[in-house]
Structure formats: structure tokens, C-alpha cells
Amino acid sequence: MIEKLKAIEQEVKVLILNNADETEMFRLKYLSKKGLINDLFEEFKTIPNDQKKEVGKYMNILKQTAQEKLDSAQVKFSTDKQNSSNIIDTSLPGDAQKIGTQHPLVLIEKEIFRIFNTLGFSLAYGPEIEDDWHNFSGLNFPENHPARDMQDTFFIEKDIALRTHTSSVQIRLMEKQSPPLRAIMPGRVYRNEAISARAHCFFHQVEGIYIDKKVSFADLKQTLYYFVKEMFGEEFEVRFRPSYFPFTEPSAEMDISCTICKGKGCNVCKYTGWVEILGCGMIDTNVLQANNINPEEYSGFAFGMGIERITMLKYNIKDLRVFSINDMRFLQQFESE
Ligand code: DAH
């Protein structure tokens, strides 16, 4: 029997397997349940016990040789096998194509632009890293004036900071273009504030300016009334409260009747029935002059609003942090918008 085993082992050794089919034939012939090697093991049971040790050794060598040959051939031809199973079944329904959703802040930014665009406002952008002139001094924030502390600033170096508001883009626009000017300026702004449901160290604003001959506070009010009606609907009331900003005089803050309780009083509006949505005013003559615009000839208004605030009111969102944590369960709700 040993001779027979040696002969089969030799036969296995010299065999060359050229493809997946030959490999499978080899497996069936030698290593399957009904294969030669199993038959030999059956035969092995019948030989006298004193020969078993010696014969067993050759049995194992043969089995190992065949198994190794099979393993390496299977690895070699497995990609071929995959390719053949990759034949496209054109009768299967296609996979649904998942497209991304627009972020709610993007949706609202686009809507803000759509509304102001109908009034002739164009779009302008400025850098997020700003110098002192564009973020403060050019906007009539005197040096060492406490108004600079209205916004907690991330300084990069002395006079260079992450912009605290998009009002800086007003200055950049006035530098580049002369009146009449009518533009809105969206972008990200940064403040050194602790993150909570109501505050974040970065958020988004849209700034707006309109400079021309004879622009009045009535134009400002009418423009913002129109914006609120378009954004939130006819049923909301608007009110202006006097306020202070260094770059506008007079200045105001605009409130709308609470979108959640419709003015009845709830915890979003702190039971006042009103929520603040923006700051605005007539551009201070100091700002016009600093940018070589003659205040005798031109006047203008400016306003600035937080995009997060508008989005929260529009979609009834109570926590600002959801905008930046990329939770798919939140973002997917805007799929159809
Ligand atoms: N820059 C102000 C802020 O971030 C918002 C603002 C108020 C902008 C009044 C204006 C304005 O243009 O006139 O709080």
C-alpha cells in the first residue's frame, strides 16, 4: 500500500491546475467525500495493526500534499470565480441613489437671499479672518471703547481676529464699490462663548446694506417688514425697539411676534410674546466718511441677523447645537426641502 500511496502522491505533485474548473475537478477526484483519498482511508482501516503506523505516515503526507495544492489553486483562481459571478443581472431593480440633503442653515440662507434678491440686493462675501479696521475701527468702534466688549473676540494676534460679525463685509464692500450699494452678506462668525442650547462659539449671520441718495428709516422698516412677511407669513407682527450699535445711528432691534405661541407667551419668547430677530439702523455718518462716502449726498441703512435664530424659529428648533453635530436623524428631516 505504501508504494501505491507514494505513486499517487507523485501524481498529485506533478499535476498542473490551470483554472477554476480544473481545480474543482481535482478536489472532486482527490479530496471530496467520494474522492480517492477518502477511499484510501477506508482501505487503511482494513490493514493489519502493526502496519498502521508506517502506512498512516504516508497517508498523511498524501493528504497534506493534495490539500496544499488545492488551497493554493483555489486562492489563485478565486478572483476568476468572482468575476464569473459578477455577471450583471439586468432584470434586477436598481439600487436607490441616495443624494445628500441640504443643511437647514443653507436652506434658510438661500431663502433669505431669494427674498432680498427680489428687492434688488446682490450677494457679497468677505474673509473670516479679519483685521481690526474691518471688524471694529472702520465700523466706528473707537479704540478702548467698551462697545468692543459687546462681542467676545477670538484674537489670532494683536489686531487680527476671527470676525465677530458680518458687518465687517460692509466695510469691504464700501472700499470696493461706490454707491448706490445694495447687498446682503452671509457668512460664518466667531465668538468666544461657552457652548449651550442658546449660544455657540461659531454661528452664521447675514448682513445687509443699502446706500443711495435719500435712503430713510422708512425704507429700512418697509424692507424688513417685507422680509418678515415673506419668510414667516402674513400673520406675524413686527416691532422696533431703540438700541445701540456703534455703526448705526439711530439703531434698533427688531422683534417679531413669537412664531411658536403666536404671541400668547411661551418659554421660547420668555412669556413676552416677542422674539428678537435682528439689529439694524441708519449707517452712522462716521462710517460713511471713513469709507469716503459723502454723508451730505448719501445715506443708508444696515441690518444684521443670525441665520441660526431665523432657522430655529422657522422650524421650531430649540437647541442651537443640533446644527453642528451632524446627527443624520436631524439632517434627514430636511430631505424633501
Ligand atoms: N453686527 C451686529 C451683531 O453682530 C448686528 C447688526 C446690528 C448689524 C445693527 C447691523 C446693524 O448692520 O445695523 O450683533
Tell me the CA end-to-end span of the chain in Å, nearest whole number.
80
Residue 126: predicted pLDDT? 98
Q: What local confidence, expressed as pLDDT, does residue 225 receive? A: 96
Whole-number Å distance, alpha carbon 85 to ligand 1 midpoint, is 64
122 domain residue, yes or no: yes
- Any domain includes 90: no
Q: Are residues 185 and 289 in the same domain?
A: yes
- What is residue 122's predicted lDDT score, i.e. its pLDDT? 97
Predicted pLDDT at 154: 93
- Asked if the structure places residue 203 within a domain, the reply is yes
Tell if the pTM clears 0.75, that is, is over it.
no
* pLDDT reported for residue 335: 82
Identify any residues that bridge with 248 across adjacent strands, giving them in sequence order.
Answer: 245, 283
Helix 217-232 with 104-118: angle, nearest 10 deg: 130
Cα of 302 vs centre of ligand 1, distance in Å, is 8
Query: Omega before 180 cis (within 30°)?
Result: yes
Ligand 1: which residue has its CA nearest to atom 3? Answer: 165
φ, ψ for residue 242, nearest 5 deg:
-60, 145
- Do 119 and 11 lie in one domain? The reply is no
Q: Exposed, middle or buried by CB within 10 Å (0-12, 13-18, 19+), for 91?
A: exposed
Judge whether 89 lies within some domain.
no
Q: What CATH code is carried by the domain that includes residue 161?
A: 3.30.930.10
* Nearest atom within ligand 1 for CA of residue 207: 12
Measured at the CA of 150, the angle between CA 147 and CA 151, to 5 degrees, comes to 125
What's the pLDDT score for residue 81?
53
Q: Within this chain, do residues 150 and 22 fall inside the same structural domain, yes or no?
A: no
304 CB within 6 A, ligand 1: yes
Q: Whose CA is nearest to atom 5 of ligand 1?
A: 304
Does ligand 1 have an atom closer than 6 angstroms to the CB of 302?
Answer: yes
Q: Does ligand 1 come within 6 angstroms of the Cβ of 248?
A: yes
Range of the domain at 324: 104-334
pLDDT along the chain (337 residues), means of 10: 89 89 92 91 90 90 92 81 68 83 95 97 98 95 80 90 97 96 98 91 98 98 97 93 96 93 83 94 97 97 97 92 94 82
For residue 207 and ligand 1, the question of a CB distance below 6 A is answered with: yes
Cell reading at 85: 459571478
Q: Ligand 1 centroid to 57 CA: how many Å?
A: 91
Report CA(268)–ligand 1 centroid distance (Å): 22
The best mutation among 141, 163, 165 to test binding of ligand 1, ranked by most ligand atoms within 8 Å of the C-beta, falls on: 165
Q: Are 287 and 134 in contact (CB under 8 A)?
A: no
Q: Ligand 1: distance of its center to the CA of 110 in Å?
A: 20
Indicate if 218 and 310 belong to the same structural domain: yes
**Cβ of 26 below 6 Å from ligand 1:** no
| Same domain (yes/no): 152, 50 | no
Q: How far is the centre of ligand 1, averaged over its atoms, from the C-alpha of 156 (Å)?
A: 22
Distance CA(101)–CA(83), nearest Å, equals 35
Query: Could you tell me if 75 and 162 lie in one domain?
Result: no
Probe ligand 1: pick from 280, 283, 286, 288, max atoms within 8 Å of CB? 280
Closest atom of ligand 1 to CA, residue 280: 13
Distances (CA, A) of 32 to 27, 36, 42, 55, 276: 6, 8, 14, 21, 80
Asked whether 280 lines ligand 1 (CB < 6 A), one says yes
Residue 271 vs residues 127, 266, 268: alpha-carbon distances, Å: 38, 5, 8
Q: Taking the mean position of all CA atoms in its chain, how far away is CA 86?
A: 35
Query: Are 77 and 217 part of one and the same domain?
Result: no
148 and 259 in a single domain? The answer is: yes
Q: Which of 21, 54, 83 is the last residue of a domain?
A: 83
Same domain, 296 and 184: yes
pLDDT score for 79:
64
66 shares its domain with 115 = no
> Does any domain span residue 96?
no
Pocket test for ligand 1, best of 162, 244, 245, 278 (most atoms within 8 A of CB): 245
**Domain presence at residue 284:** yes
Look at phi and psi of residue 265 and say left if phi exceeds 0, alpha if psi is from -120 to 50, else beta: left
Residue 91 lies in a domain: no
296 Cα–ligand 1 center, Å: 23
In a domain, 76, yes or no: yes
Q: Which long-range contacts (CB under 8 A, 24 or more apart) does 253-262 make?
A: 253/278, 253/279, 253/280, 254/224, 254/278, 254/279, 254/280, 254/303, 256/228, 256/232, 256/313, 259/232, 259/313, 259/314, 259/316, 260/313, 260/316, 262/235
Shared domain check, 157 and 17: no
Domain edge (last residue) among 83, 117, 133 = 83
Q: Count of domains in the chain?
A: 2
Residue 80: per-residue pLDDT: 55
User: Which of the listed residues 83, 115, 148 is the one where a domain comes to its end?
Assistant: 83
Q: How far is the CA of 265 from the centre of ligand 1 (A)?
A: 26
Are both 270 and 131 inside the same structural domain?
Answer: yes
